[in-house]
Structure 1
């Protein structure tokens, strides 16, 4: 009898909890459903089922965001279970929110990136830190590693690492074998970030190391962790979940080893570069009462720079190669500029980069169509009116450069690859183009990334012709960052110089 009474009590408690959840969700709907948006898949799951369907078939979620923006306007609502987000593509609001330090990174994304399937991932590093003082302290200490003076001194490393890619491409051209450009440029950007940021010369083009696979696992896991609440509960996914945890552990263990080696060198009075690794350690040394959490934040920043410093640049280069191969007229114009600026020189100088104006336009247009880090978000704790719609306080605003850059209200014929949009005399896009985000939380490494991209692309076009292998897709793979799904498979030949 007592057991039966206990069972009835538990059922009653569960019923009351379920009823409370229903009332809470209903209240949320009543509060926010005046905001335009697509019909919800269900009362409980909101639009989560649509998101899961797109992910299951390997689709690009940002194309659905674009479709909804074209249907419901520059501000619309997105329901993921009991969370409500507002997607905003209004330039004035984009400017107001992203350019101000008072609007913080949102707590939902912070929780999803702090740990991944129970394993610490990006933690409280520079990208994910919500607390403004904590972020500002880290950013201020990191700034010297990205100053223009320091970046000038990296040209030797950029040239040296890009030359290894040229040697690899030369072998491929001689053997007449097809190559997946994404894989090669991934190795190059990893070589650059490990050498420039952490003082390690690993030569990923020649050595089969575990880091590329670990980064890919982390990024893929990040998407499922953010967009699919029940992913970890499905036994079919447990093997992959364990792979992601192992990848996170590998990156953090590597970071701890490299940090300890550098710290020992600094304590022994050895000359060390003013690179990212040194700045990470200096950030720790600034703390008066050091804690275990401070040690973890060092590793948070190591993982952040290890991934962010490689992945997005590699994807940009791959998309750029893909579009140039599809547009021979643009390629010809670019060849002419490169022949005129650098001719037969083996190494580029910092001043050469400033003269490659059309290459700059090509790279900017690549990021317009394919912003490799496609979105950012902020928590807005005050009520606003956007495009005539009252938005209650306390919501997370999502800003997608991918969507804004593909809306014809901002860019004429937006799906056309046209570098002349970024001609120096062309009108500048007004807060609808932000592949590196905007304002104080914009990407610290954007100048670093574009210098690296220019060196690689200039050398590639100077030395080789490349053509896409027929039959491959031009679809986009959404793995948190955006990458070409095909991997950009090309045939490469030595370029014949004009006489």
Structure 2
């Protein structure tokens, strides 16, 4: 397609080889890096080799478990503010609500700002997602073509990059002892020490703003979609939240919310927000007996692997208990956050956020689905609902 040879890799053993066992033989690929070069070309998501390894090492402390625990109060407060706006009997568009919630969490925890005060973050995110919406033909057109989508993308991206530069400049002006230890402060410190360039700081900030909120919002949306269709599951989770949390979920509570974690796992299996990964073979390789020439684009589809009956009994059904214990399936029959050295650095952050938000919502409300139980889905940059997913709220 468009001059690129591609091969779909849908066996867990082959997925494991590409992402983990022989990962050095596979790169991000020219298709991905070319499209995202303007927005985040010097950031973790797109960079490779020594540049990626250096950045990953430096950014990792912001995502250590101990550091992540300090973010939970802000996650809980943001979710509580969402709940305060709800009323018994209201009908809520879940994806819109969860998108606003996760954007707010990201701004508060990683960057120390209230993104609600500046619409450029959400506007730029929307422009980037529209520009790379693979369900639309324009996502395959060069950036230099002056289409309306490209012009809006370029305009909003310029404003977002200026916003990020301003944030970094303000942080540099603060006393290092009073900056805090969020991601922005860490990156500013690395720039001052000469370990990161200004471009690398900017592109990593854009990377986390862009990639860090929509995927988590979609994970929350699809978990609520599943729970809203299963009142018995909701009741089980509410009982768990009542037993574990003392009116307000804390970081210490999260490991004990095991059934809630299984429900999230199952929703991510059925509706993986990132529904396929791309890699490119750097050299000739053989996978499952098939010869793959160098330069071939490899497509690793979570959607197909997560619903393959070879690995999953009754794969179309929401059954969280399938994650309770070792089911004997291959490890890479499930990979919503990727795998290997380049697995999503924000995986723990996203999981903690989803558990914190859902526990806060379940503590106050029950949900009933009032929209289509089998919603249309759009294979865009992420797996997005094609229309509103609406739930009716029932105060507990």
Q: Report the TM-score when normalising by structure 2.
A: 0.92
Is residue 213 from structure 1 mapped to residue 123 from structure 2 by the alignment?
yes
CA shift, 1:301, in A, is 0.5
Which whole-Å CA distance do the structure 1 matches of 2:134 and 2:158 have between them? 18
Partner of 1:357: 258
Measure how far apart 1:282 and its partner are. 3.0
Q: Distance in 2 between matches of 1:214 and 1:365?
A: 31
CA distance, structure 2, for counterparts of residue 351 and residue 450 of structure 1 = 14
Structure of greater Rg: 1
Distance 1:226 1:279 in 2: 37
Structure with greater contact order relative to length (CA < 8 Å, sep ≥ 6) = 2
Moved more, 101-110 or 357-366: 101-110
Match of 1:369 in 2: 270
Instruction: State the aligned residue count.
Output: 394
Identify the residue that residue 382 of structure 2 maps to in structure 1.
481
Contact 2:223–2:263 (Cα < 8 Å) also in 1: yes
Structure 2 residue aligned with 1:49:
none
The 1:285–1:107 alpha-carbon spacing in structure 2 relative to 1, beyond 3 Å, is farther
Q: What residue is the counterpart of 1:58 in the other structure?
A: none
Aligned: 1:160 with 2:96: no
Report the alpha carbon displacement of residue 189 of structure 1 after superposing the two structures with TM. 0.8
Map Cα deviations across residues 50-99 of structure 1 (whole Å, 9 max, x no partner): xxxxxxxxxxxxxxxxxxxxxxxxxxxxxx12111111112222112211
How much has 1:339 moved relative to structure 2?
Answer: 2.2
Which of 3, 7, 10 is residue 89 of structure 1 equivalent to?
10
Partner of 1:262: 171
Question: Aligned residue for 2:47?
Answer: 129
Relative distance call for 1:83 and 1:232 in structure 2 (3 A) is: closer
Aligned mates of 1:92, 1:333 — CA distance in 2: 35
Unaligned runs of 5+ in 2: none
Corresponding residue number in structure 2 for 1:412: 313
- Render the CA deviation track for 1:244-264: whole Å, top value 9, x for unaligned: 222212221111110111111
Asked whether the 8 Å contact 1:472–1:486 carries over to 2, the reply is: no
> What is the TM-score with the length of structure 1 in the denominator?
0.74
Deviation at residue 382 of structure 1 after TM alignment = 2.8
For residues 214 and 229 of structure 1, the distance between their equivalents in structure 2, rounded to whole angstroms, comes to 16
The yes-or-no answer on 1:247 pairing with 2:170 is no
Corresponding position of 2:36: 113
**Ranges in structure 1 where 5+ consecutive residues have no aligned partner:** 1-79, 115-119
Structure 2 Cα separation of the partners of residues 334 and 381 of structure 1:
46
- For residue 40 of structure 2, give the secondary structure of its aligned residue in structure 1: coil
Contact 2:302 2:335 in 1 (8 A): yes
By how many angstroms is 1:432 displaced?
1.8
